[in-house]
Amino acid sequence: MEILRGIAVAPGIAIAEAVVLDAEDYRIPERTVAAENLERQREILQHAFTASTDELTRQRSQWSNELGQEAADIFNWHRGVLQTPQLREQIGQLIDESHFSAAYATSLVMRKFQRRFQRMRDPLLAERVRDVRDIERRLLRHILGETREDLAHLTSPAVLVTHDLTPSIAATLSSTEVVGVAMDVGGAASHTSILLRAMGLPSVVGVADLSSHVSGGDLIIVDGVNDLVIVAPDEPTLKQYRDQQQRYVKIREELGDLRDLPAKTLDGETFQLLANVEFPSEVASCIDEGSDGIGLYRTEFLYLQGSTDPTEEEQFEAYREVIGGMSGKPVTIRTFDLGADKYTQGKSAEREPNPMLGLRSIRYSLQQLDMFKIQLRAVLRAATEGEVRLMFPLIISLMEFRQAKMVLHDAMEDLEDEGIPFNRDIEIGIMVETPAAAIQCRDFVREVGFVSIGTNDLVQYILAVDRGNEKVSQYYSSAHPAVLRTLHDVIRTCRRAGVSCSLCGEMAGQPLYTMLLAGLGLRQFSMGPHDIPEVKKLLRMCKIKQMERVARRALSFETERQVVNYLRAQTRKLLPDDPI
Ligand code: PEP
Ligand code: MG
């Protein structure tokens, strides 16, 4: 038995056999497969060779037209290597004789091939090392693509173990037999982690090197409460976790009793508990968990799910489905937040050196006006069918907000000219998720209809800590005094100006921060639907004056540790049995 520590990002306990997904950009570890799986590995290998050769043929004709014969020669060389029978035979032999996975066998043979070139004296031939590496990556991309396909065809529950997971692959897991996830890398506030949480899949990230020493079929426990992953548990541990799993299910069932009760404090103040969603299919769980509406619809997942860009009609239908599903409750649609860890890096020829500070979110939309306008048209049309608000993400300046509004007005004019019905009076707001917007909040509240504080990004930018990097996750904390003071300022500024203010970062769903945020004056919280019942339970146990006292005390501390210890002690008094 091996017990490993990581960062729990989605609560609950998962117990199942591992299915391992390797990553093409990462060293492929030695991995053997069971005898009954060898045939599948040979098929995967065959497919990877065929797909890579076809791809090269297509690229060769495209590039030779644009770049001439020299470029075509390089593609010819790559194709020639792939067509060498010995290469495929060597890899196939490793699968047959050593029972290696197709990915490992390929990377082993290709590395040997690279070393042969490295040793050559002729600098021109030594240069070929890079080409061989290129061929290896191409083959691995196809091999791993096939393995990912296999995920969709799992026939029994499995824990997915992987080096890393993009939000778009994470998004496909809800329709598979995957019951839990454990990853080598990742931070608590990354989009992948948020998705895993939304899907209710117990998950632990940042478990260094896990994927290289777990094999497919190993029994794994993902303990999403205590930040642990247990490989090959012994019998007593397994029994203890099975009991814990049942207790967890029971606690969740009990919380279900709160569904139809209002989020009202003991002294009669009512809060609005809204939900964050990524997919229309999540509307059902919003209703189940008793949400008062949707405070954040992350529409960019429309791009992350399909292989083609979503059309205006497809978007219109998705927005209608969410609005209709909420039956008259308010829905806040956020325009695409593409870029950083979502979509653009994988698609572009050249990766940005610093994507979190790069062409992301509203900046990307404002540079892709056709795409942006299509989205705005779809939202404006769908907004005739319910109470809909429109929100722009990652705003840093008033000019940017005005520019986005101008594009919206353009879209309105076009719809008007075309005689298509739309909602002209849609309320427009911004996310405050950059220090610039927070510092300038007093100016923004004069122009915006509402504000939603995105602490996932705001914390990242105030503290200069990448929200998705496990190496710095100990520095990423919403309890940092600088964050608290910023939140205090923004909430107070909005209240004074009479502008509605919600908070839709992960912090809104963490009971640790409920009293603090309510005490700072926040009345609208937006969170993953599964978090709603517990926050509601806590609010229903409190009075406003008591929470204001908690907030004042929390604001008086100089260090993050003091803030966390204090909030934990206060919350534990009310929720003694919950892991906080
Ligand atoms: C945020 O940054 O807090 C937020 C809600 O947006 P996202 O997590 O989608 O970046
Ligand atoms: Mg954000």
Q: Are strands 178-183 and 158-162 parallel, antiparallel or unpaired?
A: parallel
342 forms bridges with which residues in the sheet? 339
Taking residue 329's Cβ as centre, other Cβ atoms within 10 Å add up to 18
343 CA distance to ligand 2 middle (Å)? 15
Say which residue the tokens 């795409």 belong to.
371
CB 182 within 8 A of CB 161: yes
Q: Quick check: CB of 337 below 6 Å from ligand 1? A: yes
Cα 193 from Cα 11, distance rounded (Å): 11
Say which residue the tokens 């404002």 belong to.
366
What is the C-alpha R_g of the chain? 26
Q: Which two tokens stand for residue 547?
A: 């929470």
Q: Give 61: exposed, middle or buried? Use CB within 10 Å, 0-12, 13-18, 19+.
A: exposed
Q: Quick check: CB of 457 below 6 Å from ligand 1? A: yes
CB 81 within 8 A of CB 139: no
Q: Quick check: CB of 433 below 6 Å from ligand 1? A: yes
Query: What ligand is nearest to the CA atom of residue 483?
Result: 1
455 CA distance to ligand 1 middle (Å)? 7
CB 100 within 8 A of CB 118: no
503 forms bridges with which residues in the sheet? 453, 525
Taking residue 413's Cβ as centre, other Cβ atoms within 10 Å add up to 10
What confidence score (pLDDT) does residue 349 get?
62
Under DSSP, the state recorded for 311 is P
277 CA distance to ligand 1 middle (Å)? 11
Three-state helix/strand/coil letters over 19-87:
EEECCCCCCCCCCECCHHHHHHHHHHHHHHHHHHHHHHHHHHHHHHHHHCHHHHHHHHHHHHHHCCHHH
Q: Quick check: CB of 478 below 6 Å from ligand 1? A: no
Domains of the chain with bracketed CATH: 2-27+152-252 (3.50.30.10), 35-143 (1.10.274.10), 262-541 (3.20.20.60)
Cα 63 versus chain centre, distance: 35
User: What residue's CA is closest to ligand 1, atom 1?
Assistant: 454
219 forms bridges with which residues in the sheet? 17
Q: Which atom of ligand 1 approaches the CA of 296 most closely?
A: 5
Q: Quick check: CB of 298 below 6 Å from ligand 1? A: yes
CB 304 within 8 A of CB 171: yes
Q: Which atom of ligand 1 approaches the CA of 433 most closely?
A: 2
CB 207 within 8 A of CB 221: no
Reduced to 3 states (helix: H, G, I; strand: E, B; else coil), residue 389 is: strand
> For each of the chain's 580 residues, which pLDDT tens digit applies?
999 999 999 999 999 999 999 887 778 888 888 899 899 999 999 999 999 999 888 888 777 777 777 777 888 889 999 999 999 999 999 999 999 999 999 999 999 988 888 888 787 777 788 888 889 989 999 998 888 878 888 999 999 999 999 888 888 898 899 999 999 999 989 989 999 998 889 999 999 889 988 988 899 999 999 999 999 999 999 999 999 999 988 888 899 899 999 999 999 999 999 999 999 999 999 999 999 999 999 999 998 877 789 999 999 999 999 999 999 999 999 999 998 877 776 666 678 889 999 999 999 999 999 999 999 999 999 999 999 999 999 999 999 999 999 999 999 999 999 999 999 999 999 999 999 999 999 999 999 999 999 999 999 999 999 999 999 999 999 999 999 999 999 999 999 999 999 999 999 999 999 999 999 999 999 999 999 999 999 999 999 999 999 999 999 999 999 999 999 999 999 998 776 6
Query: What ligand is nearest to the CA atom of residue 195?
Result: 1
What confidence score (pLDDT) does residue 252 get?
87
Cα 387 from Cα 293, distance rounded (Å): 10
298 CA distance to ligand 1 middle (Å)? 9
392 CA distance to ligand 1 middle (Å)? 12
Which strand ranges, in their side-by-side order, compose the sheet holding 203-205? Answer: 2-5, 228-231, 219-223, 13-21, 158-162, 178-183, 203-205, 7-10
Query: What ligand is nearest to the CA atom of residue 334?
Result: 1
Q: Give 562: exposed, middle or buried? Use CB within 10 Å, 0-12, 13-18, 19+.
A: middle
- Helices 560-574 and 481-497 pack at an angle, to 10 degrees, of 70
Sequence letter at residue 35: A
455 CA distance to ligand 2 middle (Å)? 7
Cα 217 from Cα 394, distance rounded (Å): 43
Taking residue 420's Cβ as centre, other Cβ atoms within 10 Å add up to 12
What confidence score (pLDDT) does residue 133 get?
87
Cα 228 from Cα 234, distance rounded (Å): 15
Q: Quick check: CB of 455 below 6 Å from ligand 1? A: yes
Q: Are strands 2-5 and 178-183 parallel, antiparallel or unpaired?
A: unpaired
Reduced to 3 states (helix: H, G, I; strand: E, B; else coil), residue 103 is: helix
Sequence letter at residue 357: L
What confidence score (pLDDT) does residue 348 get?
65
Catalytic residues: 191, 504
Reduced to 3 states (helix: H, G, I; strand: E, B; else coil), residue 220 is: strand
Query: Which mutation among 430, 457, 462 tests ligand 1's pocket best, with the greatest number of atoms within 8 A of CB?
Result: 457
Q: Give 307: exposed, middle or buried? Use CB within 10 Å, 0-12, 13-18, 19+.
A: exposed
Cα 369 versus chain centre, distance: 25
User: What residue's CA is closest to ligand 1, atom 6?
Assistant: 454
Q: How far is CA 110 from CA 27, 101, 128, 256, in A?
A: 12, 14, 12, 54
Q: Quick check: CB of 504 below 6 Å from ligand 1? A: yes
Cα 215 from Cα 558, distance rounded (Å): 46
CB 154 within 8 A of CB 204: no
Q: How far is CA 250 from CA 181, 255, 256, 343, 378, in A?
A: 22, 9, 10, 38, 42
CB 18 within 8 A of CB 181: no
Reference 403, options 335, 356, 314; nearest CA is 335
Region of residue 290 (phi > 0: left; psi between -120 and 50: alpha; otherwise: beta): left
Q: Quick check: CB of 456 below 6 Å from ligand 1? A: yes
- Quickly count helices (H) and strands (E) in the chain: 25, 16
